[in-house]
Amino acid sequence: MKRNHIISDKLPWYQVLAWSTRGVSLSCNIVIVGYLTYYCTNVLAMPASLVGTILLVSKLFDGFTDLIAGYIIDNTNTKLGKARPYEVSIIFVWLTTLLMFSCPNLGMVGKSIWIFATYTLANSVFATLLNASESVYISRAVKSDMARNILVSVNGIIIMFGSIIVSTVFPILIGTLGTSPEGWQKMIAIFALPLGTIGIGRFLFVKERTDAVAAQNHRVDMKTLINALKSNKFIFLLAGAVLLYNFINSVGTVGTYYFQYIVGDVKKASIVGLISLITPLVLIFMPAILKRLTFSKVVSVGAMLGIFGNVIKGLAGSNMGLIIVGNLLGVLAALPLSFYAPVMVISCMDYSEWKNGERVEGAFSAVNGFASKVGAGLSSVVTGFVMGIARFDGTLAVQSDAANNAIIALYSWIPAIFFAVIIVLMKFYKLDDMMPQISADLEARRNQ
């Protein structure tokens, strides 16, 4: 087997770094786009309920585009591979994000159309292609489970450093440049230009392998794709957990409101951002932990920490000590699904092939991507509606008690409830226990 076609258990350092470039780029983009509701309400002076409606309508497209993206990827067969060609979409993600935060003064209707169009292109088209190809790419670039776990852990460490930088710097920039539409355009450009360029590193340096699974480049019709999904309950249990996690993660951007109106200083949000520095230390030990515990058990333990952390945040008020402790537990809770969901999707692919005799890849990766985007999108929608019902007014320096209570609920109590639901979903996710037998059976079939 040729070395340049596979990342083996001994991972070449340059390919590990290259693999992480797109993850860093997209993760930083997600952090920034999470501030879209804040930008619309506080800079463009759009009603929170209107912003929520715009994002909700945009998300209706995702149900179609994710399935279409999965179908396209499953039927892609190029010299570059099946998933690799779609990595260039990261450039267009950043281009449309820059346009998103460069909304001209077109009146309320014009602003609404602009935000809807750019947000839909960034998420329903370009981010969809990236998310739908993620698990397909790693399954074709990395052969063994252990190598994947190591790669994902290192990838997570690098991604977290990038996300920490953006999460720490962005609130500071909001307090300085983010006081005008022009200032926001400059802020986004500061991140978009370098991160859009860095994001194509994976495409340039990581190849898909040509053996075993990668050799299965037959066409997959829509009926086969749908049947594969219908017969696999595990992908939907996983998708439910991923959706809830991404809701929790994205609704965390309401922390900007929390620090501005509850704590009284939006710049202190950067202190909380520094808590994520602990993530790389934990990820170092994740491959060893995953040798002893299944993915579902690790996810459940993380969710329990998330419940405790958000309860503490709900009781914290302006107490920075409690806020820091609550967010520290939240960071630990986020790790399993944040970084290892794509590897769990590969198990779902293997289960489908084992059960049905035909391998479908893009569709399963697309379901995971769809869940991620819907969760993130719903967080913006729910934030907009809850804040609207509570009569939040971004032009006021001091909010009403109802608005402040809505901010606290979004920042703590709602995430705590969703973490509890994740634990329930993982109780029914039994695929981890089945995988040793499934892997052995598939290996025997492929060697015939």
Q: Do 285 and 405 fall into the same domain?
A: yes
Model pLDDT, residue 219 = 64
Let me know: does 101 contact 184? Beta carbons within 8 Å. yes
What is the distance between the alpha carbons of residues 138 and 437, in angstroms, rounded to a whole number?
22
The answer to whether residues 263 and 164 belong to one domain is: no
Q: Quick one: 176 and 245 in the same domain?
A: no
Residues 6+ apart with CB under 8 A from 22: 87, 90, 130, 199, 200, 201, 202, 203
Count up the domains in the chain and report the number. 2
DSSP string, 17-52: HHHHHHHHHHHHHHHHHTTHHHHHHHTS---HHHHH
214 within some domain: no
Residue 309 shares a structural domain with residue 391 = yes
Residue 366: the pLDDT is: 78
Q: State the CATH number of the domain containing residue 204.
A: 1.20.1250.20
In the predicted model, is pLDDT for residue 214 greater than 50?
A: no
Q: How confident is the model at residue 10 (pLDDT cuts 50, 70, 90)?
A: low
pLDDT at 180: 86
**pLDDT for residue 212 is more than 70:** no
Is residue 306 domain-resident?
Answer: yes
> Of the residues 156, 175, 209, which one is the last residue of a structural domain?
209
Question: What confidence score (pLDDT) does residue 244 get?
Answer: 93
Is a pLDDT exceeding 80 seen at residue 222? no
Question: Is the C-alpha dihedral spanning 113, 117, 118, 122 positive or negative?
Answer: positive
* CA angle, residues 309, 315, 318, in degrees to nearest 5: 105
Mean pLDDT of 70-76: 85
On whether both 234 and 366 belong to a single domain, the answer is yes
The range of the structural domain enclosing residue 30 comes to: 12-209
Tell me what the mean pLDDT of segment 242-249 comes to: 90
Quick one: 65 and 19 in the same domain? yes
Calculate the average pLDDT of the chain.
85
What is the rounded CA–CA span in Å between residue 385 and residue 396? 18
Predicted confidence band of residue 211 (pLDDT cuts 50, 70, 90): low
Residue 169: pLDDT band by 50, 70, 90 thresholds?
confident
Using one digit for the tens of pLDDT, what is the confidence trace for 285-326? 888 888 888 989 999 999 999 999 999 999 998 898 999 999
Measured CA to CA, the distance from residue 251 to residue 96 in angstroms comes to: 22
This prediction's pTM: 0.73
Phi, psi values for residue 81, rounded to 5°? 120, -165
Closest CA to 252 of 170, 319, 153: 170
